Amino acid sequence: MKYMFAENEKKIAQEWKKYQGYTVRPVPSTLAYYKKIIKSCPANQKFMLYGGTPEIRSIFQEQGYSLTLVDRSREMLHAMGLLTGARQARASGENLVNLDWLQLDKMEQQFDLLVGDDAINMVKWTEFDLFLEQARKCLRPQGKFICHLLVKPDDNLIGKSFLEVEQAYHQGKIRSIYDLASALNFICYDQDSYRMGWQQTIQKLGSKKLARFKPDLDFIEIFGLCNSYFYCPPIKQFEALVTNYFTIKDIFYPVEYDYCLLEPIFVLEKK
């Protein structure tokens, strides 16, 4: 499955710019947290990033640290590079590896720090166990994994109707377009698979309903070419699974928007 319905790297980069502030890109408090941890690491350590998140790549570029980027789509890695501080598909010190995240053992190398911004959410819940097993295998002893996770929305958020979301937004109870986009995804959340995503919301709600939020939020114009799906389990189920492989050292919550409480960042240390 492709992440984007776009024909080339420049077009993908142009589309990705639109997502600033939304779930698919890290917010400032998240980046400050990442930066604090990354800057505390010695330069001679080995670092790996799941995917090509431009904001995180830029932190490593600013520090002058070498970084291995892993993704099954080299096109996405190149496109995200155009949005980094270096503005290059591949910057100096970056090693791009074209590989599925569930097959990291094929690299036959280990790292001191892994960073994944929503990466684990892009594999099915039934594959979370394998994802975490592979992450543990490619870490050195005492290695850490910064795992940004989207979790299952509260039942009352899933249970809302479209009209309830619309009224809540116009009444100011949903206070930003970023929370509005999340709220629309939440009411289309699939409780059997734990899946939600931009295309799922577009297909379920349809263009006429989504158009009712223009000009504040043009949902289809912003997300119409984004094919990312997120598998978001209950946080307790994730914690029970992750402790088979890691010790939870810290949990950080971004602060910008109301629904950031559903986007914890786990710092995990290899057992």
pLDDT digits (tens, 9 = 90+) for 90-102: 999 999 999 999 9
Positions of CATH 3.40.50.150 in the chain: 9-151+233-270
3 state SS of 190: strand
Interaxial angle between packed helices 128-137 and 235-242, expressed in degrees from 0 to 180 and rounded to the nearest 10: 40
Q: Is the model's pLDDT at 1 over the cut of 80?
A: no
Residue 151's pLDDT band, with cuts at 50, 70 and 90, is very high
Average pLDDT over residues 3-27: 92
What's the whole-number average pLDDT of the chain? 96
The per-type count for the chain, helices as H runs and strands as E runs, is 11, 9
207 is written with which tokens?
A: 């263009």
Whether residue 23 has pLDDT greater than 90: no
> What b-and-e string marks burial along 123-156, b requiring 16 or more CB atoms within 10 Å of the CB?
bebeebeebbebbbebbeeebbbbbbbbbbbeee
Helix (H, G, I), strand (E, B) or coil at 247: strand
Distance CA 47, CA 136 (A): 14
CATH class of 9-151+233-270: alpha beta
Whether pLDDT at 164 is above 90: yes
Distance CA 265, CA 45 (A): 21
